[in-house]
Chain A
Amino acid sequence: MPEKFDCIVVGAGPAGTACAYELAKAGVNVLLLERGEYPGSKNVMGGVLYRKMMEDIIPEFYKEAPLERPIVEQRFMMMDKESAVTFSYKGLEWGREPYNNFTVLRAKFDQWFAEKAVEQGALLVCETVALECIVENGRVVGVRTDRPDGDVYADVVVLADGVNSLLAKQLGFHREWRPDEVALATMEILKLDKGIIEDRFNLEPGQGCTIELFGDATKGILGTGFLYTNKDTLSIGVGTLLSGLIKHKIKPYELLEYVKNHPMIRPYIQGSEPIEYLAHLIPEGGYHSIPKVAGHGVLVVGDAAQLVNAIHREGSNMAMTSGRLAAETIIMAKEYNDFSESMLDHYRMKLMESFIGQDLKKYKDATHHFDAFPQYFERYIPMMNRAASQMFTVDGASKWEKQKKIWRDFGSTGEKLKLARDVIKAWRVMK
Chain B
Amino acid sequence: MLHIVACIKQVPDTKIIKMNPKTNTMDRASAPAILNPYDAHAVEEAVRLKKKYGGTVSVLTMGPPPAVKAIKKCIELGADEGYMISDRAFAGADTLATSYALTKALEKIAKHQPIDLVICGKMTIDGDTGQVGPGIARRLNIPPLTGVKKVVEINKEKGYAIVQRKLEDGYEVVKSTLPCLFTVEKEINDISFAPLPNMIKAARYQPTIWTADDLENVDRKQLGLKGSPTIVSKVWAPPKPEGGQLLEGTAQEQVNKLLSIIFEKKELFQ
Contact = CB atoms under 8 A, between A and B. Distances in A.
Interface of A: 2-3, 31, 123-125, 127-128, 145, 147-152
Contacts of B199: 125, 127-128, 147
B203 A149 contact: no
Contact of A147 (B194, B203, B204): B194
Given A2-B197, A148-B195, A151-B196, 20 more contacts: A3-B200, A31-B200, A123-B203, A124-B203, A125-B196, A125-B199, A125-B203, A128-B196, A145-B196, A147-B194, A147-B195, A147-B196, A147-B199, A148-B194, A148-B196, A149-B196, A149-B197, A150-B195, A150-B196, A152-B196
Contacts of A145: 196
A128 B196 CA distance: 8
Interface in B155-197: 193-197
Contacts of A2: 197
B200 A125 contact: yes
A31 B195 CA distance: 16
Nearest to A152: B196
B36 to A, nearest CB: 17
A125 B193 CA distance: 14
Interface residues of B, number: 9
16 contacts: A3-B197, A123-B200, A123-B203, A125-B199, A125-B203, A127-B199, A128-B196, A128-B199, A145-B196, A147-B193, A147-B195, A147-B199, A148-B196, A149-B195, A149-B196, A150-B196
Contacts of A151: 196
A148 B198 CA distance: 10
Nearest to A118: B203
A398 to B, nearest CB: 63
A150 B193 CA distance: 11
Contacts of B194: 147-148
Contacts of A124: 203
Contacts of B200: 3, 31, 123, 125, 152
A311 B20 CA distance: 45
B190 to A, nearest CB: 14
A149 to B, nearest CB: 4
Contacts of A3: 197, 200
B204 A148 contact: no
B162 to A, nearest CB: 30
A220 B185 CA distance: 58
A147 B77 CA distance: 12
In the A-B complex, list the 7 residue pairs whose CB atoms are closest, starting with the nearest.
A148-B195, A147-B196, A149-B195, A150-B196, A125-B199, A123-B203, A125-B203
A94 B107 CA distance: 59
A280 to B, nearest CB: 22
A306 B175 CA distance: 64
A178 B194 CA distance: 37
A331 to B, nearest CB: 22
Nearest to A146: B193
Contacts of B197: 2-3, 149
A123 B195 CA distance: 16
B37 to A, nearest CB: 15
A151 B196 CA distance: 8
B201 to A, nearest CB: 10
A147 B201 CA distance: 14
A185 to B, nearest CB: 26
Nearest to A31: B200
Contacts of A127: 199
B65 to A, nearest CB: 14
Contacts of A125: 196, 199-200, 203
A84 B176 CA distance: 79
A24 to B, nearest CB: 13
A373 to B, nearest CB: 48
Nearest to A37: B32
Contacts of B203: 123-125
Contacts of A123: 200, 203-204
Nearest to A148: B195
Contacts of B193: 147-148
Nearest to A124: B203
A152 B204 CA distance: 16
Contacts of A150: 195-196
A125 B196 CA distance: 9
B64 to A, nearest CB: 17
A416 B176 CA distance: 95
A150 B194 CA distance: 10
B261 to A, nearest CB: 37
A33 to B, nearest CB: 9
A2 B196 CA distance: 9
B258 to A, nearest CB: 36
Nearest to A126: B199
A415 B196 CA distance: 64
Contacts of A147: 193-196, 199
A152 B198 CA distance: 12
B236 to A, nearest CB: 27
A410 B204 CA distance: 67
A127 B199 CA distance: 9
A99 B242 CA distance: 55
A50 B204 CA distance: 32
B149 to A, nearest CB: 26
A128 B200 CA distance: 11
A151 B203 CA distance: 16
A148 B200 CA distance: 13
B93 to A, nearest CB: 29
